[in-house]
């Protein structure tokens, strides 16, 4: 009998303990769920709002009327923003990102589209909003592009990101070597090795850097190469022998147009219908296309000149002079005696004077005698020598190693 009572007592105690433990566990579960729900509600209240600036947007208006930030908070954010960045410099395409909780802005991040390596961060602490300008870490990579010309340089790069950037950059590098108006042929090819910068934050979009090496292979002009070489005075491009690609004359006063009439001693004038000399080259181009001085010099005429319409004459070194006719407009500040630099815009294409359509009449003289510009070979401004040439040769070997590595690995094509 005593044994039965003992067993019953043990079973009762075990049941009682289990019941209490189950109740406590249920109570703990209820508390945990209550805490979890509380946390979830807190998280639910926190939200991230992103906005891309449109044309004519103002920061204060965007915050108050497009993101619905309270006016008092918007005022504080704008004032804090002003400490590190001018709100007037915000442009279309720039981004802001706000971390908000219960109508309060906990964090504000601004990213300028044209400089992905910077951001403005505003956060709130016990004393109010604090702002800072932060440089975003990045990595550098070499990238390789190879293209075939089917029509013109810009169309060859239209299918890649920043294609216009590469086309313009190439035209600047070879502006002294290649006339993109008359010397480019279908089937010509170009390869470039450039430095790419990739930020570790944001959308991590590639930022094209300097072109380290470029090579054109053309049916008309053969092979043209350009190696970037850093010096105290800046960065310049040189050919394989160490001769600067910069020459005394640009290959053309206009970018990417076509030659409609060449130098001739007997050409049928399109308006006068008479055969007469054409001591220049006509470049057909849309009205408003910028016209550049092909070399440094001094303006010795700028104004109206009969059949040439608006006309500019520039005097250069070694007895050379150049003339630019039929201009729509002469740039303000271009007057007799004014010094101009090579590549400086001096006016815009038009059809003033005796002209059947918009074009630039360009002519060059030496010691008062007209010359055929397409046949003039301009010497390089500089040829490397001595220690600088040795350093440049080492740079060529570095570039070739990179090219071989990328092409063999087929990293980018």
Phi and psi at 45, nearest 5°, equal: -70, -30
- Fold adopted by 139-238: Nuclear Transport Factor 2; Chain: A, (3.10.450)
pLDDT of residue 308: 93
Mean pLDDT along residues 114-139: 90
Residue environment code for 229-238, b if the CB has 16+ CB neighbours within 10 A, otherwise e: beeeeeebbb
pLDDT of residue 276: 61
pLDDT tens for residues 22-31? 554 455 454 4
Q: Closest Cα to residue 345, out of 299, 301, 294?
A: 294
- Fold adopted by 49-135: Nuclear Transport Factor 2; Chain: A, (3.10.450)
Q: Answer for the pair 383, 243: CB distance below 8 angstroms, yes or no.
A: yes
Q: Given its phi and psi angles, is residue 362 left (phi above 0), alpha (psi -120 to 50 degrees) or beta?
A: beta
What is the architecture of the domain spanning 258-375? Distorted Sandwich (2.70)
pLDDT of residue 162: 82
pLDDT of residue 32: 47
Mean pLDDT along residues 234-261: 85
Please give the structure tokens belonging to residue 39: 């946390």
Question: Which DSSP category does 296 fall into?
Answer: -
Report how far residue 227's alpha carbon sits from residue 241's, in angstroms, rounded to the nearest whole number: 10
Mean pLDDT along residues 220-244: 86
Domains 139-238 and 258-375 are alike in CATH topology: no
Q: Using alpha carbons only, what angle is made at residue 212 by residues 207 and 217, rounded to the nearest 5 degrees?
A: 115
pLDDT value at 40 more than 80: no
Residue environment code for 386-412, b if the CB has 16+ CB neighbours within 10 A, otherwise e: eeeeeebeebbeebeeebeebeeeeee
Of 14 and 224, which is predicted with more confidence?
224
For tokens 């054409």, the residue is 278
Report how far residue 357's alpha carbon sits from residue 328's, in angstroms, rounded to the nearest whole number: 12
Q: Using alpha carbons only, what angle is made at residue 363 by residues 360 and 365, rounded to the nearest 5 degrees?
A: 165
pLDDT value at 98 more than 80: yes
Domain locations in the chain as residue ranges: 49-135, 139-238, 258-375
pLDDT value at 319 more than 80: yes
pLDDT tens for residues 141-171? 899 999 999 888 888 888 888 888 898 889 8
Please give the structure tokens belonging to residue 65: 């009327």
Q: Answer for the pair 412, 147: CB distance below 8 angstroms, yes or no.
A: no
Q: Answer for the pair 49, 98: CB distance below 8 angstroms, yes or no.
A: yes
For tokens 């550098």, the residue is 140
Please give the structure tokens belonging to residue 201: 């934050």
pLDDT of residue 38: 46
């Amino acid at each position: 009998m005593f044994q039965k009572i003992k067993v019953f007592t043990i079973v009762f105690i075990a049941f009682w303990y289990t019941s209490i433990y189950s109740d406590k566990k249920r109570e703990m579960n209820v508390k945990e769920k209550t805490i979890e729900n509380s946390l979830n509600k807190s998280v639910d209240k926190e939200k991230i709002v992103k906005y891309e600036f449109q044309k004519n947007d103002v920061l204060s208006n965007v915050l108050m009327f497009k993101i619905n930030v309270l006016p008092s908070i918007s005022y504080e954010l704008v004032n804090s923003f002003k400490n590190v960045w001018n709100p007037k410099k915000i442009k279309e395409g720039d981004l802001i990102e706000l971390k908000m909780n219960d109508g309060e802005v906990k964090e504000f991040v601004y990213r300028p589209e044209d400089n992905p390596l910077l951001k403005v961060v505003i956060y709130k602490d016990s004393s109010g909003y604090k702002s800072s300008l932060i440089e975003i870490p990045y990595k550098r990579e070499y990238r390789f592009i190879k293209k075939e010309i089917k029509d013109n340089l810009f169309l060859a790069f239209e299918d890649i990101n920043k294609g216009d950037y590469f086309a313009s950059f190439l035209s600047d590098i070879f502006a002294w070597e290649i006339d993109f108006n008359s010397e480019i042929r279908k089937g010509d090819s170009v390869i470039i090795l450039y430095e790419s910068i990739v930020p570790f934050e944001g959308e991590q979009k590639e930022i094209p850097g300097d072109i380290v090496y470029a090579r054109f292979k053309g049916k008309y002009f053969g092979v043209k190469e350009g190696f970037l070489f850093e010096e105290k005075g800046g960065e310049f491009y040189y050919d394989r022998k160490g001769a600067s690609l910069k020459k005394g004359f640009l290959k053309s006063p206009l970018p990417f147009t076509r030659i409609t009439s060449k130098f001739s001693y007997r050409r049928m004038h399109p308006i006068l219908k008479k055969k007469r000399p054409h001591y220049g080259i006509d470049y057909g181009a849309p009205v408003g296309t910028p016209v550049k001085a092909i070399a440094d010099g001094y303006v010795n005429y700028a104004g109206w000149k009969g059949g040439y319409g608006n006309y500019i004459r520039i005097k250069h070194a070694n007895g050379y002079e150049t003339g630019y006719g039929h201009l729509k407009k002469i740039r303000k500040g271009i007057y007799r005696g004014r010094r101009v630099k090579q590549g400086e815009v001096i006016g815009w294409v038009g059809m003033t004077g005796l002209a059947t359509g918009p074009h630039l009449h360009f002519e060059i003289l030496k010691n008062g005698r007209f010359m055929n510009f397409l046949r003039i070979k301009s010497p390089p401004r500089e040829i490397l020598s001595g220690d600088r040439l040795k350093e440049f040769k080492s740079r060529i070997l570095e570039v070739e190693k990179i090219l071989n590595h990328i092409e063999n690995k087929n990293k980018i094509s």
